[in-house]
């Protein structure tokens, strides 16, 4: 049965085109996906991400548990509110999910994990937590709205008023604050996102979510759907679980080596494989740009000097005006690269990602 977020009626009232997204009835766009994309790059847009899974971990053993569960080191988190992007791994080093971990107190950490992996991740966390003093609580009563773009932070700060507005305006990147008793109830505001733009992801109780959404809309924040979210995140060089990585892929093979901490003495899940790949994994994820007309799509075959690979995420970039993609290919210098598009070998350029920085095509793209 298709699930709905608390904002479903609000999306429909704004003329959203709704689609099934991993079992959720979600907005694809509200008219023009391209206009929504540009609005986020140039001003401020908002996304309903209430389908994401919020999990609270509480107890004296929570930090020790996370030392085992994730590949990045939660010991980097020393100041309450600070966040960490990381991967949760299988015992063999494959990616169970990518997630954000928030340190709120010595006995309270918050996880935000992907919607599509919810059941698998909750089961894995419960299994792994059995040996630790930690209580695992899913928070389905919480909605989440991402407000992204150059004007996003100022708009949210103004909406929240003097005291709370100043608190969120001072948040550093990858940090969060818990606000009590706002006009929209208790909020959890994080300076994070999935677009490459600055902004906030706001966790709000379902009873106040519609009011917050409408207040943002009245303040000039444009609603944006899954279509724009996908082109924005790919331009920003951000991977999508299930398309760019899964349990058959290690962080090093997903260009996420920077999220791996091989700190001494920490026996985290999958460490043995990651240690063996620290000086080089058998596959790599690269960025591609196609100067010819056409679109790069998931599953297309990629030819390199070291053998064949495939397109992972691919799309037309509204900011660049060309097709861009991630591809997984054999390790080593790829040489001249082509993509098989309907039987024709089309040349593409290998570029570093992110493809877009500060709202403009990155150097070399």
Question: For residue 67, is pLDDT > 90?
Answer: yes
Predicted local distance difference test score (pLDDT) of residue 248: 98
Predicted local distance difference test score (pLDDT) of residue 188: 98
Q: What percent of the chain has pLDDT over 70?
A: 100
DSSP run (H or E) holding 214: helix 206-218
Mean pLDDT of 275-301: 97
CA distances from 69 to 41, 114, 262 (A): 35, 16, 13
Phi, psi of 172 (to 5 degrees): -80, 170
Confidence of residue 113 (pLDDT cuts 50, 70, 90): very high
Q: Check whether the bond before 343 is cis (ω within 30° of 0).
A: no
Asked if 225 contacts 46 with a C-beta cutoff of 8 angstroms, the reply is no
Confidence of residue 4 (pLDDT cuts 50, 70, 90): very high
Predicted local distance difference test score (pLDDT) of residue 1: 82
Q: Please state the three-class secondary structure of 254-310 as a single string.
A: HCCHHHCCCCCCCCCCCHHHHHHHCCCCCEEEEEEEECCCCCCCCCCEEEECCEEEE
Bridge partners, residue 100, by sequence: 85, 112
Bridge partners, residue 309, by sequence: 302
Predicted local distance difference test score (pLDDT) of residue 161: 95
Confidence of residue 333 (pLDDT cuts 50, 70, 90): very high
Give the strand pairing for 45-48 and 222-223: parallel
Asked if 71 contacts 266 with a C-beta cutoff of 8 angstroms, the reply is no
Question: For residue 43, is pLDDT > 90?
Answer: yes
Confidence of residue 31 (pLDDT cuts 50, 70, 90): very high
pTM over 0.85: yes
Distance, in Å, from the CA atom of 11 to the CA atom of 26, rounded to the nearest integer, reads 8
pLDDT digits (tens, 9 = 90+) for 251-285: 999 999 999 999 999 999 999 999 999 999 999 99
**Of 301, 281, 296, nearest to 234 (Cα)?**
296
**What mean pLDDT value characterizes the chain?**
97
Distance, in Å, from the CA atom of 317 to the CA atom of 320, rounded to the nearest integer, reads 5
Bridge partners, residue 202, by sequence: 145, 189
pLDDT digits (tens, 9 = 90+) for 301-317: 999 999 999 999 999 99
Predicted local distance difference test score (pLDDT) of residue 115: 93
Burial class of residue 359 in the structure, from the number of CB atoms within 10 Å of its CB (0-12 exposed, 13-18 middle, 19+ buried): middle
pLDDT digits (tens, 9 = 90+) for 124-169: 999 999 999 999 999 999 999 999 999 999 999 999 999 999 999 9
């Amino acid at each position: 049965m298709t699930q709905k977020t608390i904002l479903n009626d609000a999306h429909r009232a704004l003329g959203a085109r709704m689609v099934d997204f991993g079992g959720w009835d979600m907005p694809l766009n509200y008219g023009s996906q391209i206009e929504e994309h540009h609005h986020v790059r140039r001003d401020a847009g908002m996304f309903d991400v209430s389908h994401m899974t919020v999990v609270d971990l509480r107890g004296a053993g929570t930090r020790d548990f996370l030392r085992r569960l994730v590949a990045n080191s939660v010991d980097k988190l020393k100041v309450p509110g600070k966040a960490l992007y990381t991967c949760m791994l299988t015992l063999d080093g494959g990616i169970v999910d990518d997630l954000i971990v928030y340190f709120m107190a010595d006995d309270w950490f918050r996880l935000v994990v992907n919607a599509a992996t919810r059941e698998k991740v909750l089961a894995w966390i419960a299994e792994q937590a059995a040996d630790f003093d930690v209580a695992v609580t899913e928070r389905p009563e919480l909605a989440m709205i991402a407000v992204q773009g150059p004007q996003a932070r100022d708009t949210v700060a103004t909406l929240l008023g003097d005291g709370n507005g100043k608190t969120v305006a001072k948040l550093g990147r990858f940090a969060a604050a818990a606000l009590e008793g706002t006009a929209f109830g208790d909020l959890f505001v994080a300076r994070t996102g999935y677009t490459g733009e600055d902004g906030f992801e706001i966790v709000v109780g379902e009873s106040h979510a519609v009011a917050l959404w409408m207040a943002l809309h009245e303040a000039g924040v444009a609603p944006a759907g899954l279509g724009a979210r996908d082109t924005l995140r790919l331009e920003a060089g951000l991977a999508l679980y299930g398309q760019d990585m899964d349990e058959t892929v290690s962080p090093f093979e997903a260009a996420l080596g920077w999220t791996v901490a091989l700190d001494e003495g920490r026996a985290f899940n999958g460490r043995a494989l990651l240690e063996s790949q620290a000086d080089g994994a058998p596959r790599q994820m690269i960025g591609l740009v196609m100067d010819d007309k056409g679109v790069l799509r998931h599953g297309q075959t990629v030819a390199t000097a070291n053998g064949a690979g495939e397109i992972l995420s691919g799309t037309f970039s509204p900011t660049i005006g060309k097709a861009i993609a991630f591809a997984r290919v054999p390790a080593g210098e790829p040489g001249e690269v082509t993509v098989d598009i309907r039987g024709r070998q089309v040349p593409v350029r290998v570029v570093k990602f992110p493809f877009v920085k500060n709202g403009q095509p990155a150097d070399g793209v």
